[in-house]
Each structure stands twice: as structure tokens, then as C-alpha cells.
Amino acid sequence: MATKKKTDQDLQLDKDQLKASIVRHLRSTLGTSEQKASPEAWWKATAAAVNEQVYERLTRTQQTHFKKDTRAIHYLSAEFLMGRLTSNNLHNLSLYKICEEALGELGLELTDLCEQEPDMALGNGGLGRLAACFIDSLATLNYPAVGYGIHYEHGLFRQEIQDGRQIERPDSWREYGNPWEICRPESVQEIPLYGYVETVFGDKGGLKKVWHAGRKIKGVPWDIPVVGFGGHTVNILRLWESRASEFFDWDVFNAGGYIDSQAEKAQAETISKVLYPNDETDAGKELRLIQQYFFCACSIKDIMRRYKRVHGSDFRNFAAQIAIQLNDTHPTVAIPELMRVLVDEEDLNWDAAWAICYQVFSYTNHTLLPEALEKWSVSLFEKVLPRHLEIIYEINARFLNELVEPKWPGNDAIKAKLSIIEEGDVRKVRMGNLCVIGSCKVNGVAEIHSKLVKEDLFPEYAELWPEKMCNVTNGVTPRRWLLACNPELAALYSEVVGKEWPLQLDKLRSVTKFADDKAFQQQFMTIKRHNKEKLVKVIKAETGIDVSAEAIFDVQIKRLHEYKRQQLNLIHIMALYRRLLANPDYDMHPRVFIFGSKAAPGYKLAKDIIYAINKLAERVNNDARIQGKLKVVFMPNYRVSLAEKLIPAADVSEQISTAGYEASGTGNMKMALNGAITIGTLDGANIEIAEEAGAENCAIFGLNVDEVKSLKARGYNPYDFYYANSELKAVLDWFDTDYFTPGRPGELASIKRSLLEGGDPYLTLADFASYSEAHKLIDTWYRDPALWAKKVIINSATMGKFNSDRSIQDYVDRIWKLKSCNVG
Ligand code: Z16
């Protein structure tokens, strides 16, 4: 019987079909009824109805990729910060409008149902969200791609604020089930850990290494469909959950060790239990190394299985078919793992295996901070992964003898620096060095950052391999970060430039010709006003604070870190407060400073800064003398879904890192795209944003990278700035009083201490005066509505470069060399 091949057209639902499907799922999947269903049940029923579409397209994508045997990218990342998926999937399937109508007829509001969804917060910040934007773009551009990561039971902690302080609470995103994930028991993997290595005689003569594992762990894959915009390609994000291996448990069990076997089970399940909440520091903990190996080994096995299904044990096509991207050093152990599989299990000789590995892997660096470049003690490595340590030694010896020695004969200092092994009291494995040595390409995430990777972080490697180092500037998906989060602006753009902009963000540039147009300015600013009014309600509901949409909304949202300099924003707000107290007529447009930020639980100073912001907020917000000209809001539990509400309402985007420290930033792109003006240093992607928008449309301040370097070289002394600037001195001295913590003087003193005695490593005081001037400029601009409107329109319209489709196309052209594959 000839069955007509289904097309996307055949799949497309109309409103009545979708409505019927939602009701059917409400009854049969959720087991409830229209009368008594909770909003949560309605949300899940809606998701189930959407999933019928998703799975049809997923199956079709997988069949097409299999049939065409396409080259694919495998994006290995310990973090994927997906946020919520309902509205995203509806938009990408072109179902959003009809779903809104279908639910409307059922007496429900789609936006309310979307609020039922917990964030999938399987990441810390920029790096994890970047991975989420990238898999969206890969699917949208019809590239065969698999995301691989860890199925954390608990994502990033939920932040509560109690008496101004951060309290961490467990996040349980799937406590009551998540409709977007599907378990794939048919693809379970088993991975070894611990044990010892034995040398035996191989069948073909010669010596072979056999790793006798001390433990085996089961990896259970959960797939999250990744729906491309337009709904053609549906790729997967495959997240591994750890379980006890039955095989191993039985041994213990039979020996009468029921209790022991339960303990082993608990241990095995610990591996994927919780995401480490440190964004830029590495804990060096055994469990974290095991997490990394666990998901890398499962992923490599999965890649192997799919390759061998077509090619058997002929590995000549492997490097042509498989590309693997390492998102930071977290998945580095995939390199020695692939070597181990090829050499020990598939019997390839070393050189053949290395030739494959070297072509397959590429590495993205996301930071220059030395404390974030992972190192593991050799003894830990030897205990957990004894065979991998041997392989790393072999890679290292060959690298040093064959490449370093000929290039720098007899130079032990360079050898020590480039070696994968750091010598010293505690010998360490340097994962960054292993990444560079084992990858064919290494990229930074913004032009300036990539330049610093090449010139300051890895200069000798760049000399050895000039072609290896490259740049791919980050980007964000315009589907989530404009179309879905800012529907009014999205509609305006569709009206003015046509409906193609979500796939071709460059199209927005033509809007710059309306930047001076009164009517367009008014439309644009009315939308901003609406978004601000919506945020006013959220702020009231979340914090109890009253703010006015008349004020300038000045937003700093990002992880808390000294280099990101929330403390600079803080001391500037204190300076404004002093000016207002000294002169109640001080001329400034009312300003609301909004913060959203989580601190790593062990990062004392970061937590002190959160406390100080909250104490300042309490004092300022309740001080009648300043007539509401200044408000400070700390929004608790900053996360993707909150960002989606803050970003469309921002007037001013705070991007104030010490130059040279923020690799790229991505919030900067999102806020500019949604019509905010950047107040920022010449750091990371800010530089490229100012290039696109024009420097006159950004408030750039502070030392640049070269000036930071030379000031540090001269010997930076924060006291010079403290004594030279009486306002700055007064503000810092305020920290020692009990002005913000009545009856408890000195509670905020650690901040002053870090900026003076602590040496102010991030040059906060050096940039203060220039930052303060930039804020005055912002204030004057804002008080000229036409000027402000013009600037924000130009900012928004010129952000085309920073869409993640462009980033992905750069990866494809410079690194992955993929072909897009049409599905259906
Ligand atoms: C992270 O989010 C980043 C770097 C890093 O070493 C670890 C984590 Cl969890 C960030 C960078 O700080 C940021 O500048 C960049 O935009 C982002 O990664 C994506 O590249």
C-alpha cells in the first residue's frame, strides 16, 4: 500500500484540533477533567498535545539523518540552562497563536499556564545559557546536532533572601514530572570507574592495557527534543542520569550485603544528583571529576554506537562523520576517553587513534581567570581514572618530545609551562593544556577575549599552531530573547521589516532609518513603557517594593563576582544617595536600580555584596527625604524565566566588568536588542556592541584592557583614588557605620576592606569617577526623550550580529564544516 509521505503542511494543526487534543490529554494523560483540572494539569495537557507534533518531527529528523548518514556536531556541555520550554516550542512550531485561541475558548490564559512550568535550570549562567541558545540555532538552521550533558536531579539552587541575605534552597525542577523529557531505556550505557590497569599480551602480539574497573555505573539517557524555529528539524538534547548498575549490585547482594548494595546504589545515584553552583571557580572535588567523566564516557559510547551501526569497526570515516565541541574544560576527559576506546577496545594503534581524536575535538574557552581553569590532582585522577592518567602521560610525552623539544630545544621552562602535568608539591593535571593539545581548534567567545586567549593565556601554543586559535563571538537566540519575551516589540518589527527577522536578525537594521521618526519613536517607547509597567507589578509581587514606570530602569543581572563589579554599581548608588541627601533638589531623573544575581554558596564576599545591596535598598526605598528619586530593588532567585521579564523592561544595561575579565557577556546583547542603552567598559562583546550600535549610542567608560594592564604593571594603589576623591572616600567610610544596618555597625565593612586593604584587584576605585560621569550622561540623554528614543532604537536595530544563528554559522564555517540537512 502506497502511503503518501507526510509533509509539514499535513502535520500543521488548526485551533479546533489542538483544543480537542488538549482536552483529550487532560482526560487520558493527566487523568482529570475540565471541571477539576488545576492550572498545572492544563499546562501538562497542553505540553502533551504539543508533544504529538514534536515527536512526529523528531522521528522524521532522526530517520532523515540516519538515511543520509550526515556529519553531525556533538556539543558536550556540563550545563544547559534551558529555562522553560512551552512558549518556546509553541513559537518554534508556529502554534503559539492558535494555542492561545484554543485555550481562550476553554477559558484559560496561555501566559498563565506557561507560568506553571518550572525552569530547567541545569546551568550556572552565561556558559549554560549559551549552550541552550546554540542548540536552538543548530536545529533552526537544520544542522544535525546532539547536545550531551548531565540530567541533574537538582539544578542551580533556588535563592531566597532572608533578612537581606542569600539562602540556598534545593531546586527540584522535575519533582512532579516534566513533560518535555523522555527516558530512553534502550540506550542505557554502563561506565567503569576506579580499579586498576593490567598489562597483558594482545591476540595480535604486543602488549595491551586492560582496565579492571572497581565500580560500574549505569547511565540512563533522557532526551529533550530541541525544536528548530519553523519546526522542520527536531534535534535532541541527551542528558545522562546515573544509576547503580544491576550487574554490580547483585554481587554484593548475593554475598549477603543488602545494606551495602543499597549504599552503593545511593552513591551511584549521587553522581547526577546536583549541579555544582560555582560559575568561575573549580572545587577540585572527586564527585565533580566523576560527573565529568560519567557524562563524557556515556556520550562517547553513544556516539560510537551510532557510528558503528553504519560503519562497523572501520574507523576511517569517523573524523569525517563526527565533530565534538568541548564547552569549556568541563568535558576535557572525553579526549583521553576516546583514545582509550579506540586503542584499548577497538585495537587501533596510537598514531591512528590520535589522528582521529585530534580532528574530532574542538575547545571553547570561556574565561581567562586562572582559578577557573580546571586542574585535578594526579593522585585523584589515578584513583578514579587510572587508565586515563596513563593515556594523558603518553599524550604529554609525545607532545613534549615531538613538538616542544624541536621548537624550543633544551628549554625546560617552556616545557614546564606547556606540559599537561603541573609539577610541585601536589602534581596536577591541567585540563586547559590537554584541551589545547587535543583539539584541532580553540576559540574564544568575543574578539578581544580570543585575542587575549592567543596572546596572554596560550601564547606558546599559538606559536606552535597559529591556525588553531580562532574567535567565534557569542550570540543569543532572537526567538526566545525577542519574539517570545517581548511580543509587542516583535509585532512592531514584523510590521515594519516583515516576518523574516527571527531567522534573519540583520533585517532589523533597516529600522535605523526610523530612528528619528516621531511616530515610530512613540510606538517604540510605548512598548517599552508597557513592558516596564508589567515589571512594576512583578517587582511589587516579588519584593513588596513600589516603583514607578516613570523612572529609568537600570538593570544589572548576572552572577555575582568581583570582576563583574556589582560593588561599583553599589558604591555609585550610595554616591547618588549622598548627593540627594546633601541637596534634595539634586537634579536627576528618578532612577530604579534593579539587581538580579546569585552568589556561589562559598563565595563570602559575593554574599556580603548581596547583603549590602539589600540593606541599601531598605534604607533608600524608605527614605522620604529623597522623594522617590532613587529606588533599589534586588530581585530574588534570578533565573531564565525572570530574565525574560526584566530584559524587555530595561532602559539601562549595566556591563561594567574590569576590562579583560568578562570573556563576552550575553545579557549585554539581550538588553540592547530589547531597547536598552549599555553603560559599559570596553570588555568582551561590549566592544563589538558599541561597534555595531555606534560608540555615541553607548555610555562607554573606564580603563580599557591596555590601561588595566599598565596600571597593574605600574602598581595600582586603591588608596590613591580613595584619598583623591572625597565623595568616594565618604561612600567607602559609610560601610564602617551602622547607617544601613542600624545598631550593627561594621556589618558591611568587608566590602570597604576588599577595596582598600584587599588591594581592589578589579580596579573598582580606579573606574569610579569615569563611571559616575557616564551615569550623568545617561541621565541627560534620558531627559531628552527624542534623543533617548533614537539611541535605543539604533541599539535594538543594530544587534543583528549577536544572534546565535550567526555564531553557529561561524562555528560551521571555521570549525565544524557541517552541511545543513533538510528534513521533510
Ligand atoms: C560561565 O558562565 C562563563 C565562563 C566560565 O568560565 C564559567 C561559566 Cl559557568 C561565561 C563568561 O563569564 C561570559 O563572559 C560568557 O559570555 C559566557 O560564559 C558564555 O561564553
Residue 120 has phi, psi (to 5 degrees) of -90, 95
CA dist., res. 466 & res. 450, Å (int): 13
665 CA → ligand 1 middle, Å? 7
Q: Is the pLDDT of residue 2 over 80?
A: no
pLDDT digits (tens, 9 = 90+) for 701-720: 999 999 999 999 999 999 99
| Whether 359 and 507 share a structural domain | no
pLDDT digits (tens, 9 = 90+) for 795-822: 999 999 999 999 999 999 999 999 999 9
Measured by CA distance, the residue closest to atom 9 of ligand 1 is: 279
Pocket test for ligand 1, best of 133, 325, 367, 563 (most atoms within 8 A of CB): 367
**Crossing angle of helices 604-621/566-582, nearest 10°?**
30
CA dist., res. 530 & res. 540, Å (int): 16
How many helices (H) does the chain have, and how many strands (E)? 35, 25
336: in domain: yes
pLDDT digits (tens, 9 = 90+) for 663-712: 999 999 999 999 999 999 999 999 999 999 999 999 999 999 999 999 99
41 CA → ligand 1 middle, Å? 36
663 CB within 6 A, ligand 1: yes
Q: Is the pTM of this model over 0.95?
A: yes
Q: Which residues pair with 87 in a beta bridge?
A: none
Last residue of a domain, one of 354, 372, 390: 372
- Closest atom, ligand 1, to C-alpha of 123: 9
Average pLDDT over residues 778-793: 98
Q: Which residues pair with 323 in a beta bridge?
A: 73
CA dist., res. 489 & res. 511, Å (int): 12
CA dist., res. 464 & res. 322, Å (int): 25
Last residue of a domain, one of 372, 393, 421: 372
Q: What is the CA radius of gyration of the chain?
A: 27
Look up the domain containing 232 and give its range.
Answer: 69-84+119-173+180-372
| Cβ–Cβ < 8 Å for 389, 344 | no
Instruction: Compute the C-alpha angle 568/570/571, nearest 5°.
Output: 70
1: in domain: no
Strands in 496-535 per DSSP E:
none
124 CB within 6 A, ligand 1: yes
CA dist., res. 14 & res. 275, Å (int): 40
End-to-end Cα distance, the chain: 20
Q: Whole-number mean pLDDT of the chain?
A: 96
For 288, the grid coordinates are 565533580
pLDDT digits (tens, 9 = 90+) for 375-411: 999 999 999 999 999 999 999 999 999 999 999 999 9
Pairing state of beta strands 189-193 and 215-227? antiparallel
**For residue 596, which of 542, 531, 659 has the smallest C-alpha distance?**
542
Q: Which DSSP symbol is given to 274?
A: B
- Closest atom, ligand 1, to C-alpha of 474: 20
546: in domain: yes
Res 252: pLDDT: 57
473 CB within 6 A, ligand 1: no
- Closest atom, ligand 1, to C-alpha of 372: 6
Average pLDDT over residues 232-261: 80
- Closest atom, ligand 1, to C-alpha of 662: 14
- Closest atom, ligand 1, to C-alpha of 328: 6
Residue 204 has phi, psi (to 5 degrees) of -90, 20
136 CB within 6 A, ligand 1: no
Q: Is the pLDDT of residue 50 over 80?
A: yes
Among 232, 454, 558, 591, the active-site one is 558
pLDDT bucket at 281, cuts 50 / 70 / 90 = confident
666 CB within 6 A, ligand 1: yes
Res 8: pLDDT: 57
Measured by CA distance, the residue closest to atom 16 of ligand 1 is: 665
Res 203: pLDDT: 81
3-state secondary structure labels for all residues of 334-394? HHHHHHHHHHHHCCCCHHHHHHHHHHHEEEECCCCCHHHCCEEEHHHHHHHCHHHHHHHHH
Write the single-letter amino acid at 407: K
pLDDT bucket at 250, cuts 50 / 70 / 90 = low
130 CB within 6 A, ligand 1: yes
438 CB within 6 A, ligand 1: no
662 CB within 6 A, ligand 1: yes
Known catalytic residue: 65?
no
pLDDT digits (tens, 9 = 90+) for 600-613: 999 999 999 999 99
646 CA → ligand 1 middle, Å? 20
| Cβ–Cβ < 8 Å for 689, 799 | yes
507: in domain: yes
CA dist., res. 593 & res. 575, Å (int): 13
Average pLDDT over residues 54-79: 97
Please state the domain count of the chain. Answer: 2
545 CA → ligand 1 middle, Å? 31
114: in domain: no
pLDDT bucket at 47, cuts 50 / 70 / 90 = very high
Pocket test for ligand 1, best of 134, 152, 280 (most atoms within 8 A of CB): 280
Q: Which DSSP symbol is given to 545?
A: -
Q: Is the pLDDT of residue 213 over 80?
A: yes
**For residue 449, which of 412, 417, 482, 474 has the smallest C-alpha distance?**
474
378 CA → ligand 1 middle, Å? 26
pLDDT digits (tens, 9 = 90+) for 512-538: 999 999 999 999 999 999 999 999 999
665 CB within 6 A, ligand 1: yes
Known catalytic residue: 729?
no
Write the single-letter amino acid at 111: T
pLDDT bucket at 258, cuts 50 / 70 / 90 = confident
Write the single-letter amino acid at 30: L
pLDDT bucket at 430, cuts 50 / 70 / 90 = very high
For residue 666, the tally of other CB atoms under 10 A from its CB is 25
801 CA → ligand 1 middle, Å? 19
| Cβ–Cβ < 8 Å for 567, 530 | no
Domain holding 318: CATH number? 3.40.50.2000
683 CB within 6 A, ligand 1: no
**For residue 75, which of 231, 357, 288, 299 has the smallest C-alpha distance?**
299
Res 657: pLDDT: 98
Among 74, 174, 366, 645, the active-site one is 366
For residue 636, the tally of other CB atoms under 10 A from its CB is 20
Known catalytic residue: 366?
yes
Please state, in angstroms and as integers, the Cα–Cα distance from residue 782 to each residue in 548, 651, 694, 774, 776, following that order. 15, 9, 17, 12, 10
| Cβ–Cβ < 8 Å for 72, 322 | yes
Please state, in angstroms and as integers, the Cα–Cα distance from residue 725 to each residue in 220, 372, 680, 768, following that order. 60, 34, 21, 9
569 CB within 6 A, ligand 1: no
Please state, in angstroms and as integers, the Cα–Cα distance from residue 457 to each residue in 53, 361, 434, 438, 681, following that order. 47, 20, 14, 17, 21
**Sign of the alpha-carbon torsion through 142, 148, 154, 159:** negative
**How distant is the alpha carbon of residue 321 from its chain centre?**
27
Res 12: pLDDT: 80
Long-range contacts of 469-472 (CB under 8 A, 24+ apart): 469/441, 469/442, 469/443, 469/444, 470/441, 470/442, 470/443, 470/814, 470/815, 471/443, 471/444, 471/445, 471/446, 471/447, 472/364, 472/443, 472/444, 472/445, 472/807, 472/810, 472/811, 472/814, 472/815
pLDDT digits (tens, 9 = 90+) for 750-776: 999 999 999 999 999 999 999 999 999
Res 371: pLDDT: 86
| CB-based contacts of 545, cutoff 8 Å, min separation 6 | 539, 617, 621, 631, 633
**How distant is the alpha carbon of residue 304 from its chain centre?**
27
Please state, in angstroms and as integers, the Cα–Cα distance from residue 272 to each residue in 74, 223, 692, following that order. 20, 15, 42
CA dist., res. 226 & res. 88, Å (int): 10
| CB-based contacts of 641, cutoff 8 Å, min separation 6 | 83, 84, 117, 119
Res 247: pLDDT: 56
777 CA → ligand 1 middle, Å? 29
Last residue of a domain, one of 372, 389, 405: 372
43: in domain: no
Res 35: pLDDT: 96
617: in domain: yes
Residue 80, classified by CB atoms within 10 Å of its CB into exposed (0-12), middle (13-18) or buried (19+), is buried
Among 428, 532, 670, 752, the active-site one is 670
165: in domain: yes
685 CB within 6 A, ligand 1: no
Res 4: pLDDT: 45
Res 805: pLDDT: 98
126 CB within 6 A, ligand 1: yes
367 CB within 6 A, ligand 1: yes
| Whether 638 and 492 share a structural domain | yes
Q: Which DSSP symbol is given to 154?
A: B
> SS3 for 599?
coil
| Cβ–Cβ < 8 Å for 139, 659 | no
| CB-based contacts of 409, cutoff 8 Å, min separation 6 | none
663 CA → ligand 1 middle, Å? 7
Pocket test for ligand 1, best of 124, 275, 276, 279 (most atoms within 8 A of CB): 279
280 CA → ligand 1 middle, Å? 8
Known catalytic residue: 64?
no
Q: Which residues pair with 235 in a beta bridge?
A: 226
